[in-house]
Amino acid sequence: MNNSIPLVSVIVPTYNVDRYIKKCLNSLMSQTLKELEFLCVDDGSTDASGRILDDYAAKDSRFKVVHQENQGAAAARNVGLNMATGEWVAFMDPDDFYPTDDTLQVMYENAIRHDVKICGGSMTIINRRGRVVKRKHIGDYEGYNFAKDGMMSFKDYQFDYGYTRFIYNRNFIEEHHLRFPLVRQFEDPPFFVRALSLAGSFYKLHRPTYTYLGGNGWEKTDWLANNYQKARDMLSGMAQVCEIAETNNLEKLRLRRLRFLYYGAGEIFQREEVLAGIKGDYARVLKQHTPLVSVVVPVYNDEKYIGECLDSILTQSYRNIEIICVNDGSTDNSPSILKQYAQKSDDFFSIKIVDRENGGLSAARNSGMNCATGKYIYFLDSDDMLNYDNAILEMVLLAEENRLDQLIFACRLFSDGKGGELARRVKAEEEYHRVYPPLKDTVLSGTELFTELERNGRFFATQQTRFYLLSSLTNYNLSYPEGLLHEDNYMAPLSLRFAERAMIVGQPFLARRIRAGSIVTKTGDMSKRFKGVWGIVQMLCQDKRLWDAPEDFKDMLRKYIHERIEDMYWLAQDTHDETLFAQKMFALSCIRNDGQAEALKTKRGLLRKLFSSWRKH
C-alpha cells in the first residue's frame, strides 16, 4: 500500500466553536489508525476557532486548514470533499468527537472486510457537562442504534439522521457526484439518504462510532433572519428527502418525513411569526408530499352551527385540505355564511361551495364525493365538529402508516341544551359508539372487521366516525342511498365489504352534537323514519355485492338486518300511518298495540317475508 495516500479523510467544517474544538481535534489525533488526513474548513469564524486550527496544523502535518468567508456547513463540507485524497471519507462536526481511539480503525477494517461502500455504528449523545444523556434511542429515533453487527439493507433501515457515524468510500462518492445541497439547514439528510439509496446496503456496528454534543438544536436558530432563509432551507432539504423516498419506494422514510412536516419541524413552521414568511413555500411542500384530504360538509338550514363546524376544520394542524360545502337548498342564512367562509380559502385550505336543490343528506354527500379530488375523504355533518386540532393529522397518519381503506374511530358526544330526553339520548349514543377493546388498533379486512364487531354487538354505522380512502368508494361506485333516512346503516356495511384494510381506534376525533330536532332525536314523523329503515333493509337484502362475500360476513349481515327490522318494529309503535304499515305487512293490531302476542306474531310474519328474499343468497 502507498502510505502517501491517506486511508481516511476526515472533514471538519468549523464556525465559532473555540470552546469545544480542541476536544474534537484531540480525538482525531489520538486515533490508532494513523494514515489519516484532517481537512478543516474554517467557515469565517469570528472567534478563536481559526487560530486553533492553524495551531494544530503547525503541530501535525495531517491537518490541512482552509479559511473562507462564511457560506454554511454544507458548502464547507463540499470544499473538504473537493480536497479529499483518502480512500474513505468521514465527517466530524467541530463540537463532537469519536468515542474511542480505535473508532476509525474499526470502521475502516470492517468496511474492507465486508466489501461495502458505507460502514458505521451507533451514536451516543452527551450534554454540555459531558454527561451521557442518550445511549439508547427509541421510537422515531431508534435508527441511531444498531442491536448487533451485520449487513443491512437501506430498504430495511430507512433512517435519515446521523450521517457522521459512518465512513464512505470516496470513489463511490465521486462516481455518483455526491455533495451536500447548498442550504444552511437540514443539509445532512439529503446527502445521507442519497448515499445509502445508491449503495443499497451497508455494514452496521453495534458499538458507538460517534459522540454528539446535544443542546445545539433549533431552539437557538433565528428562523426570521435573512428573509426566513433557514426555514426555507429546511423545507428544501425535507422536500429533497421526500423526493428520494418517493422515487425509491422508501415508504417508511416517506411516512417519517410526513409526520415530521407537521410534528417536530411543523411546530416551527406553524409558529405565527415563522409561518408569515414561509407560507407559500410550506404549502407547496405539503401539497407535493402530503396527501390531500377532502372534507365534505352537507349543509341544510344550520346557520346556528355551521360556523363552529368550519372553524374546527380551519384550525386543524394538518394543512392540505379541501373543504366541500354542499348547500342542500338551505332557506336560512347558511348560504351567506358559507360565502363568507369561502373567502377564507388560502394556500392550505381550499373552500368550495356546491349549491343544489334540497335532496337530503345522502344526495348532498354524493354531490360532495363527486367533487372530491383528495386521496382521502371525510364526511362531517354541519352541526358536528372535529374534536381537536390534530384530529385530521392523526387520521392521515393512521391511514398512511397502516395503508387503510377505512379508519373507524370513537367520538365525544355532547348535548346542545339541557333536558332529560337529550341526556338520555347522549347516554344511549355513548353506549352505541363504544369501541370494542379487543379489536382496537388491529388491521383487518373490512369483512373481518364488520363480522367481529357485529358478532360482539359493537358495530356502529355513524359515517362521521369514518375516514375513507376515496378510491375505496369510487372504484366500486359506492354511494349513499338518496331519498332515505338512516342512510348510514347501508353505507357502513357496504363500504366495509370492499375495504381490503380497515381498522378501528379509540381516539375520539369527532365531537358529535345531540340536539332537539335532529334525525336521531326527532319523534314527530316516525313514518318517515320507518320508511327509511324499511328502504335500507330492502337494499341490504337485494344488493348482490353484499352477498358475494365470505359466509361469516353473510351470517353477521343477516344478524345486522334482523336488528334493523327490530328498529322498524319499535318505530311502528310511534306512528299512526296505517296505510304505510298495511303496505309493509304490519298488522293494524301491532300499530294499535292490541297485545304482545299479536305484535310478536306480526313481527315474525315480517321476518319470514324478508328472510325469504335472501335465502337464494
Residues 78 and 193 in one domain: yes
Residue 2: inside a domain, yes or no? no
Would 1 be classed as within a structural domain? no
Secondary structure of residue 106 in the 3-state scheme: helix
306-329 residue pLDDT tens = 999 999 999 999 999 999 999 999
Instruction: Please check whether residue 320 lies inside any domain of the structure.
Output: yes
What is the sign of the dihedral through the CA atoms of 432, 438, 442 and 443?
negative
**Do 478 and 498 touch, CB atoms closer than 8 A?**
yes
- What is the rounded distance in angstroms from the CA atom of residue 66 to the CA atom of residue 161? 27
Q: What kind and span of H or E run contains 77?
A: helix 73-83
Same domain? For 410 and 478 the reply is yes
Q: What is the DSSP string of 518-582?
A: STTT--S-HHHHHHHHHHHHHHHHH-HHHHSS-HHHHHHHHHHHHHHHHHHHHHGGG---HHHHH
Answer yes or no: do 536 and 439 share one domain.
no
In a domain, 547, yes or no: yes
Mean pLDDT of 126-142: 71
Question: Quick one: 304 and 283 in the same domain?
Answer: no
Instruction: Answer yes or no: do 471 and 354 share one domain.
Output: yes
pLDDT for 576 beyond 70: no
pTM (2 d.p.):
0.88
Residues 445 and 562 in one domain: no
Distance CA 388, CA 393 (A): 10
3-class SS shares of the chain: helix, strand, coil, % to 5: 45, 20, 35
> 390-425 in b/e burial notation, b at 16+ Cβ within 10 A?
bbbbbbbbbbbebebbbbbbbbebebbeeeeebeeb
- Cβ-based neighbours of 382, under 8 Å, separated by 6 or more: 297, 298, 299, 300, 302, 305, 306, 309, 334
Cell digits of residue 53: 486550527
Is there a single domain that holds both residue 145 and residue 188?
Answer: yes
Buried b (16+ CB within 10 A) or exposed e, 246-284: eebebeebbebbbbbbbeebbebbeeeebbebbeebbbe
Statement to judge: residues 233 and 138 lie in one domain:
no
| Domain range enclosing 246 | 225-287
pLDDT band per the 50, 70, 90 thresholds, residue 349: very high
Residue 496 and residue 384 share a domain = yes
What are the beta bridge partners of residue 377? 294, 468
Contact 412, 512 (CB under 8 A): yes
CATH of the domain at 110: 3.90.550.10
Q: Where does a domain end: 173, 196, 216? A: 216
End-to-end Cα distance, the chain: 80
Angle between helices 446-455 and 551-571 (to 10 degrees): 50
Q: Based on the domain organization, do 334 and 461 belong to the same domain?
A: yes
Q: Which of 522, 538, 553 is the last residue of a domain?
A: 522
Return the pLDDT at 207. 96
312 & 300 share domain: yes
How many domains in the chain?
Answer: 4
Q: Tell me the per-residue pLDDT of 398-445, one tens digit each, with 9 for 90 and over.
A: 999 999 999 999 999 988 766 677 788 888 888 889 999 999 999 999
More confident of the two residues 616 and 363: 363
Which of 169, 197, 216 is the last residue before a domain boundary?
A: 216
Residue 388 and residue 315: Cα distance in Å, rounded? 9
Same domain, 40 and 171: yes
Helix (H) or strand (E) holding 370: helix 361-371
